[in-house]
Amino acid sequence: MKRIAVLTSGGDCSGMNAAIRAVVRAGLSNHLEVIGIQKGYQGLIDRQYELLTTKSVSGKLQVGGTFLQSARCLEMLEEPGQRLAADNLKEMGVEGLVVIGGDGSHRGALELQNRGIQVIAIPASIDNDIPFTDMSLGVDTALNNIIHAVDCLKDTASSHDRTFVVETMGHNCGYLALVSGIACGAEYALIPESSYRIDEICENLLRRFQEGRDNSIIMVAEGAGKAQDIADQIKDRVGFETRIMVLGHYQRGGSPSSFDRLLAARFGVTAVEALLQEESGIMLGLSCGAIVKTDLGKVVRGGRRDIDEKADAPVPARGMYKCLYCVCTLYV
């Protein structure tokens, strides 16, 4: 093997640069050429790429986002785009590809593998909705971003006896809202995996304020509802002054946490080693602190990671979800 390529695809997250750096440095130290594909699969289809050196990745470790840039590529969903992407890789002399991204990126990676490309996927998405890994790259930094924001909101909320409804990202997954809610001591985490009754929430909010509590925080995952709708319902029912904060893309940026930097390094180096060992069609993951490998087809078929005892997830992740689920359905 002489030449490999790396790309970042889908929604960016902190730690992507650190993972690219690890791929480049591991590749170079194994006498491989490393090509960086720009703007994810779109760059692959449009043949936008550059040769990466140690200098290209110097000073990138601590920077959020992805210097290769990313895109959500509609052409990669269709057969002609997938064929062109595979043909371009072959013409570029690329013998192995590392794809860093979320569920959509893994579907693209599987299509390339089916067209004869040796491919290794690294799970990267703040949503933590990718099956067969306890944590995806970027999740820990996003949680820290959320925690910082909510701590600030609590200061101002308690100065005015206010309730704040804080909306997190997560697509259809409640992980960010739930875990940050526990870490921040929020009163509720409303998540798509679990139903809630607004009347019951309002009764508890009222009781809290009658007891003399000066603030309440309700986390809501974007898949469970809109912060403004929930704030309006609370105001209508109990008349509280309720404010909202939609955290949006703020959650995706910023310097990666030490956890994400280390995870990126482990994923990046393992991906190159796997390519050198002629492995293909696998996604790397984290299970009980160890790096594990799962067949990409199984990952893509795995669908959404449920907060459910029956979910096909590694046992430790399942246990953790069960514990969090219990906390979430209680009034904490």
CB of 12 to ligand F6P, least distance (A): 8
The window from 29-37, 165-173, 202-210, 289-297 that contacts ligand F6P (CB under 6 A) reads 165-173
The 121-150 site mask, x for binding ligand F6P (CB under 6 A), equals ----xxx-----------------------
Among the listed residues 4, 5, 9, 11, the single contact to ligand F6P using CB under 6 A: 11
The site that binds ligand F6P (CB under 6 A) totals a number of residues, namely 11
Choice between 65 and 96, CB closer to ligand F6P:
65
Q: Quick check: 252 binds ligand F6P (CB under 6 A)?
A: yes
In one-letter notation, the amino acid at residue 19 is A
Q: Quick check: 171 binds ligand F6P (CB under 6 A)?
A: yes
Distance separating alpha carbons of residues 36 and 46, to the nearest angstrom: 13
Question: Phi-psi region for residue 69, left (φ > 0), alpha (ψ -120 to 50) or beta?
Answer: left
Is 155 a residue of the active site? no
CB of 1 to ligand F6P, least distance (A): 32
Choice between 15 and 96, CB closer to ligand F6P:
15
CB atoms within 10 A of CB 297: 15
CB of 11 to ligand F6P, least distance (A): 3
Distance separating alpha carbons of residues 85 and 100, to the nearest angstrom: 16
Among the listed residues 24, 169, 191, 245, the single contact to ligand F6P using CB under 6 A: 169
Q: Are strands 162-168 and 215-221 parallel, antiparallel or unpaired?
A: parallel
The window from 43-51, 120-128, 204-212, 276-284 that contacts ligand F6P (CB under 6 A) reads 120-128
Q: Quick check: 170 binds ligand F6P (CB under 6 A)?
A: yes
Write down the residue that tokens 């995996």 correspond to: 193
83 token code pair? 């064929």
The 44-63 site mask, x for binding ligand F6P (CB under 6 A), equals --------------------
Question: Phi-psi region for residue 48, left (φ > 0), alpha (ψ -120 to 50) or beta?
Answer: beta
Write down the residue that tokens 């570029």 correspond to: 92
Q: Quick check: 102 binds ligand F6P (CB under 6 A)?
A: yes
Choice between 125 and 294, CB closer to ligand F6P:
125
Q: Pick from 33, 34, 35: which is nearest to 44 by CA? A: 35
Which residues have C-beta within 8 Å of that of residue 151, sequence separation ≥ 6?
A: 184
| CA 83 to each of CA 41, 71, 90, 257: distance values in angstroms, whole numbers, following the listed order | 12, 18, 11, 37
| CA 117 to each of CA 33, 99, 111: distance values in angstroms, whole numbers, following the listed order | 17, 12, 9
Q: Provide the annotated active-site residues.
A: 127
Q: By the criterion CB under 6 A, which residues form the site for ligand F6P? A: 11, 72, 102, 125-127, 169-171, 222, 252
